[in-house]
Amino acid sequence: MNDIYVWLTSIGAMVMASLAIIIRVKATKRPVSEKKIIFPPVFMSTGFLMFLYEPARPAFLQVLEAVAVGMVFSILLIKTSKFEIRDQQIYLKRSKAFGFILIGLLLVRIVFKLLIGDAINVEELAGMFFLLAYGMIIPWRISMYINFKKIEKELDSNCMVPAQT
C-alpha cells in the first residue's frame, strides 16, 4: 500500500509541477498586478484547514523544520523572479531556470518522501509538505511584491517626466 501511495502522490506532484510551469510561462505574457502576486498565497492558505484533522498535525519541531526548509528553497524562486517594463506595464521575466528549479524541488520532495515516509504517518507528512510549500511561497511572494512596488515606482516616475523637446 505504501508503494502505491508513493507512486500516486509522486505522479500527482509531477502533474502539479507541470501545471505550475505552464501557468508561470503564461504569466509572462500578461502584465503583473498586486492581486496576481498576493492572491495565490491567500488562496493556498485554505490548505491550513487540513490541520483541523488531528492526524495531519505535525509536531512543533516538524513544523519549524518544514517551514525552514521551505524558506531556504524560496531563495531559488526569489533569485529567478525578475520583472521588466514592456509597453509601459510590468511583466514577469521568463526564466529558464524556473522549470528546472521546480523539477529539482519535486525530486527533493520525492526523495524526502522515500526517506522519511515510513517514519512519519501519511497525513502528518502531507501537513509537513504543505507547510514546506507555504514556507516557500510566502517569502517568495513578499520579495515579488517588494520588487514589483520598486518597478512600479520607477514606471510612475518615468511617466511623470515631461518629454524633452
Per-residue pLDDT tens digits for 42-81: 999 999 999 999 999 999 999 999 999 999 989 988 998 8
d(CA 131, CA 57): 10
d(CA 77, CA 143): 10
Dihedral (Cα; 108, 113, 119, 122), 10-degree rounding: 140
Residue 165 within a domain: no
Structural domain harbouring 83:
2-160
Residue 156 within a domain: yes
Q: Which residue has the higher pLDDT, 33 or 95?
A: 33
Using DSSP, state whether 85 is helix, strand or coil. strand
Q: How many domains does the chain have?
A: 1
Flag whether pLDDT at 163 surpasses 70.
Answer: no
d(CA 101, CA 17): 10
Residue 111 within a domain: yes
Nearest to 140 by CA among 89, 98, 91, 90: 98
Residue 90 within a domain: yes
0.75 surpassed by pTM: yes
Residue 117: per-residue pLDDT: 67
Structure confidence at residue 146 as a pLDDT band (50, 70, 90): very high
